[in-house]
Amino acid sequence: MNEPSDGLPLFQVDAFTSSPFAGNPAAVCLLDRPREAEWMQALAAEMNLSETAFALLRQPRQSGQQPQDSQSGWDLRWFTPAVEVDLCGHATLATAHVLYSEGLLAPEEPARFHTRSGLLTVTRRGAVLEMDFPADPPRELDEKTEDRLPEDLARALGTRPVWTGRGRDDLLALLGSEQEVRALKPDMSLLKGLEARGVIVTASGGSGSDFVSRFFAPAAGIDEDPVTGSAHCTLCSFWAPRLGRDSLSARQVSPRGGELRVALKGDRVLLLGNAVTVFRGRLLV
């Protein structure tokens, strides 16, 4: 990389796709020093993508220190145009893609990211990147203890789900068919008022995937996210026991769309996908 005086390296990457202009775009900024959250939030608003990732290299490894040492790796934070989030899959995938493609990580070296959700690792498997994230099994919403939340969710979606649940950050709504998921036109103003980061809508897949989904997060400044890696920590935890298999194929049926493989490994979820750099430049301010 050039010296910081030449500007910070800034990239736009399409994640969960092997073709440009598909999947989920994320901006990736490689920092030269710690930055204020207000500055990062302002840049994320300027980029106006669902997520902007900020990566800062931790102290350089000393002679003899191994890549897997607990303190090595990169600090990573994610911002939507409106808020900072605790976990983002596609922007993590995009950041790892940048580090490998720019030669900042050797092909055999795992990317280690220290985040608000703990240590996350990404491993390169040829052209595919494998992310290791915490599983997020949803609990079923109980109308007796959740007040009007299931009813409010049904009204916001414009349909009554077969099953509703809650993960750490998101609500999950199971619908009866892939066609119903694709045709959904939720009321964003009502979704925004729900007590959750976002709403995952899912159904069994019928077009070459085990399950399909869409993700809506107007409260975080994103009406519909094209492909949401973190939501699949909940989706994989939900679908794997129902389908009786740990490894599944997933399709997010947003207008841009995207595909990924997921695997449940105990209390972890592996998310596998591709990424493509759309442009690279330098931030001059």
Residue-range domain boundaries for the chain: 4-134+272-283, 139-265
Lowest mean per-residue pLDDT among 15-29, 63-77, 108-122, 267-281? 63-77
- Catalytic position from the list 36, 38, 51, 224: 51
pLDDT in the model for residue 64: 52
Is the pLDDT at 48 greater than 90? The verdict is yes
Query: 94-108 as b/e, with b when 16 or more CB fall inside 10 Å?
Result: bbbbbbbeeebbeee
Contact assessment for residue 57 and residue 41, using Cβ atoms and an 8 Å cutoff: no
Domain 4-134+272-283 superfamily per CATH? Diaminopimelate Epimerase; Chain A, domain 1 (3.10.310.10)
139-265: same fold as 4-134+272-283? yes
pLDDT in the model for residue 3: 42
pTM for this prediction: 0.86
Is the pLDDT at 1 greater than 90? The verdict is no
Contact assessment for residue 274 and residue 16, using Cβ atoms and an 8 Å cutoff: yes
Contact assessment for residue 103 and residue 64, using Cβ atoms and an 8 Å cutoff: no
Tokens of 200: 């995952």
pLDDT in the model for residue 62: 52
Is the pLDDT at 70 greater than 90? The verdict is no
**pLDDT single digits (tens) 270-283:** 999 999 999 999 99
Give CA angle at 51 (284, 261), nearest 5°: 130
From 174, 170, 165, select the one nearest 229 (Cα to Cα).
Answer: 170
Q: Which residues pair with 115 in a beta bridge?
A: 118
Q: Which residues make Cβ contacts (< 8 Å) with residue 54, sequence separation at least 6?
A: 29, 31, 35, 40, 76, 77, 78, 79
pLDDT in the model for residue 60: 59
Contact assessment for residue 211 and residue 250, using Cβ atoms and an 8 Å cutoff: yes
Is the pLDDT at 130 greater than 70? The verdict is yes
- Under the banding of pLDDT at 50, 70 and 90, the label for residue 147 is confident
- The CA distance from 249 to 262, in Å, is 6
Nearest-10 crossing angle of helices 231-243, 89-101: 110
* Average confidence score pLDDT of the chain: 92
Is the CATH code 3.40.50.2300 the one for domain 139-265? no
Tell me if residue 51 is catalytic. Answer: yes
Is the pLDDT at 2 greater than 50? The verdict is no
Report the length, in residues, of the chain.
285
Query: 3-state DSSP call for residue 224?
Result: strand
